[in-house]
Chain A
Amino acid sequence: MLLEKWKGTDESMKMRLRGTLHNEDESEVTEVTTVEVEVPDFEAFTGSDTFGEVFDQYEQTALEARNGVMKAVTEKYLNELAKKNTVRDRGTSRESH
């Protein structure tokens, strides 16, 4: 794999994606989620004939990183939601069975 070749070499570049959830007053709802991945350096694009292959490595990594961040942020979002008792907040009581 091309990515393996770039790992730990001078020819790799890092992409960092940060995902946060915050209120309008900028207070954080969840902690920051950061995903860092290695993507091909500009030097890896040696010509138009290799563009497809190198860009594919970039695209694959970028898509996985994007999905990873979104998954983690959404899980945190739902985790926070699960902690809230939204029913009681609205002033309605639960039925006891």
Chain B
Amino acid sequence: MSWQKKTQSETEVQAGKVIEKPNDYGIDAEIGRLAVPTFEIKRGSQKVFSTGRDVFPETGSREHYKTVRFRELALFFPCDEPFRKSAQKLNRVLRRKEGQQVRARTMANLVEREGEQIQAYVGKKAERILEDHGFTADGSLTDQEKARSSIEGSDVTLDHKVLSHMIEELNRGQEKEKQIELSELNETFEDPNAVKANISLDDVCCKKQKVSGRKKGSLPKEKREMVYNTVAHIQNKESKTYTLNTSTISQMMIVVLAFLLSNGLMSTPGSLVFFTDGARDIRSAIQDIFRFLPFKIILDWFHLEKKCKDLLSMAIKGKQIKNQILTEVLAWLWLGKVERAINVLSDLKEDTIKSTTERDNLIKYLHRNQACIPCYALRKKLGLRISSNPVEKANDLLVSTRQKHNGMSWSADGSTSLATLTSVRRNDEHIYWLHHHDIRFSFPQPAANPAA
């Protein structure tokens, strides 16, 4: 139906004056684009009834109300494909004719607005949960009495006999100095069947959209600005997973704490284990928020190995010597013997060093992260996680696959909104959100949970 300008018509009824409005109420539905006449009843100058307010949800002046089925298609097609392709697909699926077609820009605006609404809702929900459990909105513990019932600080670790047996197996055939001594280990080994949660955290970036194009003759900027998203992958002891995303790490920590509290994960005895890539801001954010109970931060082995490779390449002369030193350093780090690895670096001969600064940087890095470097060999033998790869995969699924391609650039809101919608769909919360504008904030049912 086309949008024809009508003239306002009036009829007198008992309740007042019935006025047919000149503009129809527009509805974008999967059935089609609908136009419904609207009426108002006025008693004197007072509007006592309006179809556009009392029957249909209020919309902007030229805005169409979008039904749940329509929003499901319009919001989640762009999670997999560019907006232009999504618009083409949507128009093809709905067989929209010229003049009624959904534009790519409309879809982008829709995604941005819905993503912002979800982010705001999750933020408010997190605040409510925190307040209910004796925390302030910024995650500080204020009411010890309230918190006591929802927080259990005790740890559940693996039996000493199991550890001793595994260490014995690992030490078999090893030189004395490369053997692991249980008494020398400063860490605990969590029982995988009794963990509170395994939480992997990481930042992911994509190119930032320029505010305006480059002016003729102006110099290009030295460094491209980036848009950051923080992603968290939460796994409980039953291996159920939930993915969260926010635009900053501080917001993320509040949301993670609220999620743990609302799902009763903090009230069970067991370890709370964080897996990170060693970023300082992530570590300090964890320490700030979770200082009220014991937790463990594990530095991802892949990132540790990569850092050593990168810095040693800049620090050491010659490929062969570098590889030899790298092997030695990594062998000590794999056993969790950080001091021994640092000694190897400190005792390097002057003639093998290309840059003492880079060598010192690596030493500083190891010192800084010493508390987060466990005995990877023993953890692996015990079947415990040593990697933050679930969040790396989540980064790919939420952001990289869709947002990191040649020629793509994003506004901060656009990028976070799109990632939010993708995460909501991954958590199987999307249909519930579309119907109720609510997020359950709980692990999805196993059948609906895609492999991660």
Contacts and interface: CB of A to CB of B under 8 A. Distances in A.
Interface stretch (A28-36, A58-66, A75-83): A58-66
B165 interface: no
Contacts of A60: 69
A52 B72 CA distance: 13
A59 B54 contact: no
A79 to B, nearest CB: 25
A49 B54 CA distance: 9
B288 interface: no
A66 B436 CA distance: 26
B431 to A, nearest CB: 10
Interface string A11-54: 00000000000000000000000000000000001011101110
Contact of B57 (A48, A62, A63): A48
Contact of A52 (B31, B54, B57): B57
B435 interface: yes
A9 B58 CA distance: 30
Contact of B53 (A48, A53, A55, A56): A48
B67 interface: yes
B55 interface: yes
Contacts of B58: 48
B265 to A, nearest CB: 31
B31 A48 contact: no
B35 interface: no
A55 B28 CA distance: 12
B30 A63 contact: yes
Given A56-B67, A60-B69, A51 B56 contact: yes
A51 B56 CA distance: 6
Which of B53, B54, B57, B436 is packed against the most chain A CB atoms within 10 Å?
A: B57
Contacts of B53: 48
B104 interface: no
A45 B29 CA distance: 17
Nearest to B54: A48
A36 B435 CA distance: 25
Size range of the chain A interface in the assembly: 10 to 19
Contacts of B31: 59, 62-63, 66
A63 B58 CA distance: 25
A47 B54 CA distance: 6
Contact of B30 (A51, A52, A53, A59): A59
A56 B435 contact: yes
B71 to A, nearest CB: 9
Nearest to B436: A53
B68 A52 contact: yes
B68 A56 contact: yes
B113 to A, nearest CB: 16
Nearest to A66: B31
A22 B30 CA distance: 29
Nearest to A56: B68
Nearest to A50: B57
Contacts of A49: 57
B69 A56 contact: yes
A59 B69 contact: yes
Interface string B57-98: 110000000011100000000000000000000000000000
Contacts of B57: 48-49, 51-52
A48 B69 contact: no
A17 B191 CA distance: 61
Contacts of B54: 47-48
Contacts of B29: 55, 59
Interface in B31-69: 31, 53-58, 67-69
Interface in B86-117: none
A55 B435 contact: no
Interface string B415-444: 000000000000000000001100000000
Given A53-B435, A56-B435, A63 B69 contact: yes
A55 B30 CA distance: 12
A63 B93 CA distance: 13
Contact of A51 (B55, B435, B436): B55
Point out which of A49, A53, A59 has the most chain B C-beta atoms below 10 A from its C-beta: A59
Contacts of A66: 31
Given A59-B31, A63-B30, A52 B69 contact: no
Contacts of A45: 55
A34 to B, nearest CB: 20
Interface of A: 45, 47-49, 51-53, 55-56, 59-60, 62-63, 66
10 contacts: A45-B55, A47-B54, A48-B54, A48-B57, A48-B58, A51-B57, A52-B57, A53-B435, A56-B435, A62-B31
Given A52-B68, A53-B68, A53-B436, 4 more contacts: A48-B54, A48-B55, A52-B57, A59-B29
